[in-house]
Chain A
Amino acid sequence: MAGRSPGRPPKSGGTPVTNRIRELRFHAGEMTQQQLADAVGVSRQTIVAVEQGRHAPSLELAFRIARAFGEPVESVFGFDG
């Protein structure tokens, strides 16, 4: 992932923080958004918003999500600003 921001580009009006959550959920045995939300202690709506680039997660939440996938945070999130 070095050299480019991971994940989908932000929607217009969204955050410049990109992510690979959708892809990582797929590779984690079709993990649902609710399962990920439960794993990191937030609501499913928050996972949806982060995944769709509408909400920039806090540093703590970003680390929690990365840990849930067993990935370093920089491979899950990128910055497209």
Chain B
Amino acid sequence: MNTAATGAAFQERSNIACLVTTAVIYPAILVIAFLNPTPGTLIGLLIAGVVLQVIALAVLHAAAAVFTRAEPDDERVRAIAHRSDRLGGLVLAVGVFLVVCLTIAQGLAAPEGFAPGSFASPIITGYVLFAVFVASELARMAHAAVLHRRA
């Protein structure tokens, strides 16, 4: 009788692969781009990161497909996706709100002798927005990974 612990399904392995590659690649891109804020650094690193992630995901998914039985995308998987999407959306909304606050603060704050807005930096705003997007994706996938085990 088969009542033992659940083996990971393909969807769960796929989610973990996306989580790991995202957690490794995009924070590293952000750190490198922030430390070397030259024009095009973020764009160049992003292109390289996306290509790297596509290759890594193709390899990991191929391995998962070989070692995992195909399972239907059933109601439990959809429920997990729905719940984790909600958390990712919440993180994204809070992050975007904080970026709006940061942008306004950048526009208002200025040392004596400088006009308000002199220190507003679209580059920093862009970096923070990208970090928020990465954080929301990580939160979504991490929550899904937990729910695949517990729900």
The finding on whether chains A and B are genuine partners in a shared complex, rather than unrelated, reads: yes
Interface 0/1 of B113-151, CB less than 8 Å to A: 000000000000000000000000000000000001011
Q: Contacts A32-B1, A33-B2 known; A55 to B79 CB distance under 8 Å?
A: yes
**B3, B9, B74, B75: the one within 8 Å of A33 (CB):** B3
Decide if A34 is an interface residue (CB 8 Å cutoff).
yes
Number of B residues, CB within 8 Å of A:
17
**A41 B1 Cβ-Cβ under 8 A:** no
Given contacts A43-B76, A44-B6, contact A49 B151 (CB under 8 A): yes
Q: Mark A6-45, 1 if CB is under 8 A from B, else 0.
A: 0000000000000000100110001011100000011111
Whether B75 contacts A61 by the Cβ 8 Å rule is: yes
- The chain A residue sitting closest to B77, CB to CB, is A43
B65-94, CB under 8 A of A: which get 1 and which 0? Answer: 000000110111101000000000000000
Taking residues whose C-beta sits less than 8 angstroms from the other chain, chain A's interface range is: 20 to 34
Contact of A22 among B3, B72, B77, B79 (CB under 8 A): B3
- CB of A45 within 8 A of CB of B76, answer yes
Q: A32-B1, A54-B151 are in contact. Are A42 and B6 (CB under 8 A)?
A: no
Pairwise interchain contact A45-B71, C-beta atoms closer than 8 A = yes
- Name the B residues within 8 Å of A51 (CB-CB): 3
- Given the known inter-chain contacts A54-B150, A55-B151, please indicate yes or no for A46 contacting B3, CB distance below 8 A: no
Contact status B75-A42, CB under 8 Å: yes
B1-16 interface (Cβ within 8 A of A): 1-3, 6-7, 9, 12
- CB-based contact A43/B2 at 8 Å: no
- A26–B71 CB distance below 8 A: no
How far apart sit A25 and B2, CA to CA, in the bound complex (Å)?
10
Contact of A42 with B74 at beta-carbon distance under 8 Å, contacts A49-B151, A54-B151, A55-B151 already known? yes
- Give B residues with C-beta under 8 Å from A: 1-3, 6-7, 9, 12, 71-72, 74-77, 79, 148, 150-151
